[in-house]
Amino acid sequence: MAKTTTFGRTGLLTWLGIALIVIVLDQFTKTLILGYFQYGDSRHVTSFFNVVRVHNTGAAFSFLAGASGWQRWFFVGLGLVAAGFIVWMLRSQGHQRLFAWALSLILGGALGNVIDRLLHGYVVDFLDFHLGARHFPAFNIADSAITVGATLLIFDELRRVRRG
């Protein structure tokens, strides 16, 4: 059994540190975008990628973006509840490395977007991938961390099912 500390099982601080790194990278890149781009600006980088500045008041793929403003606080609350649940899971399951990595990435991404909602009332998105005129919805580092974390969760569960 893993040695316990006042923070739970050994390793919780490591997993929280990974989440903190995601938050710092996310907020740093968003600060750069806010400082160097006006709303709606777009800079061509490659034939399939632009850096843009867009604001998302909704969730993934701008879900609920057209609502009257209540969604800001709903998504802040949802993000904070999810963060609390993830920390609880990390305390009890932090010894499962792939699972803990996944949760840490999701935690950092969720809190990165919560910070945006609290500071600005929207999430700053800036990564714009496209194929010709067809654009994937713009996203950010936090969204990327959440997506990678969710993918790792699926992979971890598939591995667990194959073993059992």
Q: Which residues are catalytic?
A: 125, 143
3-state secondary structure 85-115: HHHHHHHHHCCCHHHHHHHHHHHHHHHHHHH
Give how far Cα 148 sits from Cα of 54, 72, 121, 126, Å.
22, 24, 25, 18
For residue 2, the Cα-to-chain-centroid distance in whole angstroms is 29
Angle at alpha carbon of residue 146, lines to 141 and 151, rounded to 5°: 125
Residue 85 region by backbone torsions, left for phi larger than 0, else alpha for psi between -120 and 50, else beta: alpha
Are the beta carbons of 153 and 102 closer than 8 angstroms?
Answer: yes
